[in-house]
Amino acid sequence: MENDRRSRLLLALVLVFALALLPALALSACDGPVPDSTADSSAYPATEVPHLAYALPSPDADGGISVEEALANRRSRREFQNIALTPAQVSQVLWAAYGITSDGGLRTAPSAGALYPLEVYIIIGNVDGIEPGAYRYIPEDHAITIAVEGDIREQLSEAALNQAMIREAPATVLYSAVFERTTGRYGQRGVNYVYIEAGHSAQNVYLQAESLGLGACSVGALTESKVMELMRLSENEEPLYLVPFGYVK
């Protein structure tokens, strides 16, 4: 009798312990956390990058010309000289595109819900002191990390309907989007917000280029699958926009 009572007590304890573990077991069975509607951009990491990285010079917040002059001069410039850019010029353009401007992480381009769905890359072909390649911009560190090694301007030009300016420009900004960062909160309407944000950022690049005595041209004609393969983008990234820039002819 005593043995039966002890057996029943032991069984009850085992059941209680198992029930207590169920939530943890359920979580461990998931592939990872499922972002909710307020998830931030870190829930959708961009493609992993290997070792090569460059810390960029600090951006200058006091330009050489006024906003009004930059707006008046802004044009799409499609022919570029074979003159190397400097790391400081690259730094300034990337900061203008998507750089952080506040302790709270706000950036140079407005973003619906401050969710920042864009990933900004720069394709380097002729920049003093920076190896040719495709780099991802890290706004939090104001740095770039390698995504694809080597000069890929020719292949990128082919993926953009063979437009010569991409082949000739010393550098090109490439925008991709992780739509889920914004649609997770705003639903299908968030798709529009992402495209709007890309336009905000690209205009910043135009104006910054003018301020630096450079030219830029936005390019929307591209074959997405070719760009994704060339840039080794993650599956949840969609290429949107190219902006080659440099000294104009």
The pLDDT score that the predictor gives to residue 61 is 87
Interval 198-220 mean pLDDT: 97
DSSP alpha helix (H) spans, 142-216: 153-159, 164-168, 180-186, 189-211
Global pTM reads 0.79
Q: How many CA atoms lie within 13 A of 37 on its CB side?
A: 5
The CA-based angle 133-139-143, given to 5 degrees, is: 45
CA gap 114, 41 in Å, rounded: 9
Q: Please check whether residue 205 is in contact with residue 198, taking contact to mean a CB–CB distance below 8 angstroms.
A: no
What element of type H or E holds 5?
helix 2-28
Q: Is the pLDDT of residue 202 over 60?
A: yes
Neighbouring residues of 51: CB distance < 8 A, sequence distance ≥ 6:
146
Backbone φ, ψ for residue 135 (5° rounding)? -125, 145
pLDDT of residue 6: 47
Weakest mean pLDDT among 35-49, 164-178, 226-240: 35-49
Residue type, 204: N
121 SS3 class = strand
Number of alpha carbons in the 13 Å side-chain half-sphere of residue 31: 3
- DSSP letter at 232 equals T
C-alpha to C-alpha distance for 138 and 119, rounded to whole angstroms = 9
* Contact in structure between 242 and 219 (CB atoms under 8 Å): yes
Mean pLDDT value across residues 89-118: 97
Residues 6+ apart with CB under 8 A from 140: 100, 105
Rounded mean pLDDT of 128-143? 97
Question: Which position has the higher pLDDT, 180 or 43?
Answer: 180
Q: At what angle do helices 87-98 and 189-211 cross, to 10 degrees?
A: 150
